[in-house]
Amino acid sequence: MSVEERLASLGLQLPRISPPPSVQMRFARRSGNLLYLSGNGPMRDGRPVLVGKLGRELSLEQGYQAARLTALNLLAVIKAELGDLEPIRFVKSLGFVNSAPGFNQQPAVLNGFADLIVELYGEERGLHARSAVGMAELPWDIPVEIETIVEIVG
């Protein structure tokens, strides 16, 4: 089953890519066989779907879902850049979690991203190195921002 077929079987679809307001950047940059993806968050149509800090306004489950939505946004960027979701292997992700003082479950929040990627790609192509960092603030008060690097293997 292809990645897009797996997405459909989960009732998921890739969102439309739209840049956040007043940000001058590329969503991705290819260098050799690596594709570097800029930080992305739980956005729809250039606006945050969720806002707030984990451990204060938002629960761990809401953070997990925000990271899962961020995975879909990053997959949409990959599809736009490569035209296909198949020929990649995830190498590294770096996740920033908008955290209230005392909140220390950043890795569990980032599991929302990692679990979906492994579900879609399997462990061989989806399981990757990662870091999860708590931040005092994130742009637009989003709860999660994730950047990732994928290797183009096909």
Taking residues 123-146, report their average pLDDT: 98
Which whole number is the average pLDDT over 43-67? 96
The pTM is what? Answer: 0.95
18-31, pLDDT tens digit by residue? 776 677 889 999 99
What's the pLDDT at 154? 75
Q: Are 112 and 65 in contact (CB under 8 A)?
A: yes
* Backbone phi, psi, residue 40, to 5°: -140, 160
**CA-based nearest residue to 150, from 72, 27, 35, 31:** 35
How many whole angstroms separate alpha carbon 63 and alpha carbon 82?
29
Q: What 3 state SS string does 77-118 have?
A: HHHHHHCCCCCEEEEEEEEEEEECCCCCCHHHHHHHHHHHHH
Q: Which domains does the chain have, with CATH numbers?
A: 3-152 (3.30.1330.40)
Task: Output the pLDDT for position 138.
Answer: 98
Judge whether 142 and 51 are in contact, CB under 8 Å: yes
User: What's the longest Cα–Cα distance across the chain?
Assistant: 44
Contact 106, 97 (CB under 8 A): yes
pLDDT (average), residues 145-154:
96
Give residue 18's pLDDT. 79
Mean pLDDT across the chain: 96
pLDDT digits (tens, 9 = 90+) for 81-117: 999 999 999 999 999 999 999 999 999 999 999 999 9
